[in-house]
Structure 1
């Protein structure tokens, strides 16, 4: 990498889409029209930031206008509650009854008010909601014992993950642990157990998205997923490609007014500049943790 590239700085004005490849600004209509032609568009989030959830709703609204045959998949729901999502879309539940039946407080736990506008959008427009997650104990078991130790009938409809790349290991190490003074990441701090668990989530989201595309007229599937499962083509996009789904868009948001070129390149198809986010809304237990403890507890 030459000295110019190493020190490149991309300015990012409010309410604009930035191309991470070269720092140019993308025309929103052109960008979202192109995204509406993909098989899958993944909208990354930090779970506790209200402004990101508003952005997801706005993007989903435009994509639905451009391509009405659309479904929205959510990391927040395990596959076993799919019948409840269907009931919600059909208007058969109050908001309180819906949250109770999906066991929101125990299964997910983040503030429901962050997500309810998007849930109501789906119901109002009869946009199918897809449960993308798997049974939580499966993640723990695969991490601890390995995939082959789990009987086929206990795999919650998943297939084995494609092997993790060294680049993904390095990325996860950077998420979970502070870099050294030289900026290097020690990949050895990320255990195989952690990688297996993380990839179980990645594969679950990918398998359930791919399953939704196996119909005569496939919808555009919009995925609402933690950004740690999406960035730099790792995680769920990598597992989707392994499943034969290649037309994938990844969109992210940021509140930063500028970016350094090397870290940004390849992170997503485009990044939207948000308004300054309001205070994060996080569960009380997480609010009590230090920033380092939160990074280790929540990898996405």
Structure 2
């Protein structure tokens, strides 16, 4: 099935729930993960609208962003508190170096948090940690350099297949020719470092405020089919995380990709 623009669809059943009914259901979860394509403004407007729907049903939200490393949490707190204007926030948050996509794509989400005093947290880690784990494995990184993270649970065969296919599958110019190829291990280790970092930060936020609903703003490749961050959250004792995804175009929605997808209008000029 394919959702119409403005319509929710449950891929596993084909049901088309109403927006109020789905928001009420999602608001009962401990964690809701909202996927995105980073360069699509409509994905971020959708995320903001879902966050608003959840806030109408839960008195406490925390929004976690892949876009920021956790070390910038004090800057995010100053933004939410109204201490910084946009320019100062983006400068202090090192936007041009830690993320780099146009800030206008994300500012509606940031202003939503500021307007409603919703805490913002960074979910990411330093890029060098990702490279170091990819190159040498978790045990090659000194404990003091691990940023308080724990090692990722092993990637399932299904997740390895997913990563292999979304990165282009077998090609003559590629060292790894199958998902099981040891030449693919380095990429999987690196990807899982991000998956685990996001999961650890979300789990920490839940531990600090068990009554809050944590909403993750994360690239969809870390969420689809539950192989990335959702699997790591389950390993950390939070198996109930729900995955919602935007959907555009005429592609049928495959079963298992997420709890529900929302139809967006395919717009010329957007990636």
Q: TM-score, normalised by structure 2?
A: 0.94
Alignment partner of 1:233 out of 199, 204, 226: 226
| Alignment match, 1:126 | 117
Partner of 2:266: 276
Residues 89 and 122, structure 1, Cα contact 8 Å, conserved in 2: yes
Question: 1:135 and 1:270, CA in 2 relative to 1: closer, same or farther beyond 3 A?
Answer: same
Determine the C-alpha separation between the residues in 2 that align with 1:116 and 1:132: 17
Q: Distance in 1 between matches of 2:49 and 2:170?
A: 35
Greater Cα offset, 194-203 or 271-280: 271-280
- Show structure 1 runs of 5+ residues with no match: 1-9, 282-300
Give the structure 1 partner of residue 132 of structure 2. Answer: 141
Q: Does 1:68 align with 2:59?
A: yes
Instruction: Give the superposition deviation at 1:148.
Output: 0.3
Secondary structure in structure 2 of the residue aligned to 1:170? helix
Please state whether the residue corresponding to 1:250 is helix, strand or coil: strand
Q: 2:142 aligns with which of 142, 146, 151?
A: 151
In the other structure, the counterpart of 2:32 is: 41
Which of 174, 186, 197 is the matching residue for 2:178? Answer: 186
Q: Equivalent of 2:47, from 37, 52, 56?
A: 56
**Do 1:212 and 1:218's aligned partners in 2 also have CA atoms closer than 8 Å?**
no
Superposition deviation, residue 232 in structure 1: 0.4
Q: Do the aligned partners of 2:249 and 2:265 also contact (CA within 8 Å) in 1?
A: no
After superposing on structure 2, the runs of 4+ consecutive aligned residues of structure 1 that deviate more than 4 Å are none
For these two proteins, the number of residue pairs brought into alignment is 265
Contact residue 11 and residue 23 of structure 1 kept, 8 A: no
Write the deviation string for residues 88-108 of structure 1: whole angstroms up to 9, x where unpaired: 111110100000001100110
Question: Shift of the alpha carbon at 1:191?
Answer: 1.1
Give the match's secondary structure for 1:191: helix
Could you report, residue by residue, the CA deviation over 1:150-209 in whole angstroms, capped at 9, with x for unpaired residues?
1111101100100111111000011001579xxxx9324661110110000000000000
1:213 aligns with 2:206: yes
Q: CA RMSD in A?
A: 1.6
Correspondence for 1:92: 83
SS of the residue corresponding to residue 97 of structure 2 reads helix
CA distance in 1, matches of 2:179, 2:28: 37
Q: Which residue of 1 aligns with 2:247?
A: 254
Q: Which residue of 2 aligns with 1:287?
A: none
| Cα deviation digits, residues 280-299 of structure 1 (max 9, x gap) | 37xxxxxxxxxxxxxxxxxx
1:22 is the counterpart of 2:13? yes
Alpha carbons of 1:41 and 1:278: their partners in 2 closer, same or farther (altered >3 Å)?
farther
Give the aligned partner of residue 242 of structure 1. Answer: 235
Tell me the TM-score normalized by structure 1. Answer: 0.85
Answer yes or no: is the 8 Å Cα contact 1:70–1:222 preserved in 2: yes
